[in-house]
Amino acid sequence: MTAQQSDEQKPIVEKEIKGVQIGDPGLVLYYEFKLANQITLRAEAGYAVGVKANADWFFDDGSEDGFFALPAFTIEPRWYYNLGRRVRKGKDIARNRANYFSVNTTYYADFGVIQLNDVGDVPSFLNIVPMWGMRRTLGKRFDYELGAGIGYVHVGSYVHRSHVHKSEEGAILLLRARFGLGF
């Protein structure tokens, strides 16, 4: 039963939602399914768009600036914490229209990279970021999401200009702004 099918809305997430979104990090297909009344697991696959400007990933190596796209795979458990409050205020919660806390784990692969010009080797990236976000819908099919979080990033080792670059790690600020179409 979806939130729209009952006379009185219950603060429960949808059994499943799926669609396509564009924004950060690029273009993704998503599938989100219910684990508990307020908890879902979201899986994404798509292409992340990036730009390399005036430097290698951490230092200037003289290679060209340019745009690239690399495969991105995400697993993100979400807790929609304000479903009950939205229902009490008479607001719609269809398609998980609520605020959430999540742990975004994204792997950006170093295979299947698309480059508009030669930016050199593109390393793999792994982000693990606790996030706050909000999901809203526009009509029955369109949706948007906004969110932010600070977390961990690991940049894999790679070879460029006959030099092996060691892996790096550090902190990352992740900002999310997406617009999408649900199926």
- pLDDT tens-place string over residues 97-119: 999 999 999 999 989 999 887 76
Average pLDDT in the chain: 88
Residue 25, preceding bond cis, omega within 30 degrees?
yes
N residues, the chain: 183
Q: CB-based contacts of 47: which residues, under 8 Å, 6+ apart?
A: 26, 27, 28, 69, 70, 71, 72, 114
Domains defined for the chain, CATH in brackets: 18-182 (2.40.160)
- pLDDT tens-place string over residues 6-35: 446 789 999 999 999 999 879 999 999 999
Strand duo 163-165 + 125-138: pairing: unpaired
Please tell me whether the overall predicted TM-score, pTM, comes out greater than 0.75 for this model. Answer: yes
In angstroms, rounded to a whole number, what is the distance separating the alpha carbons of residues 58 and 18?
36
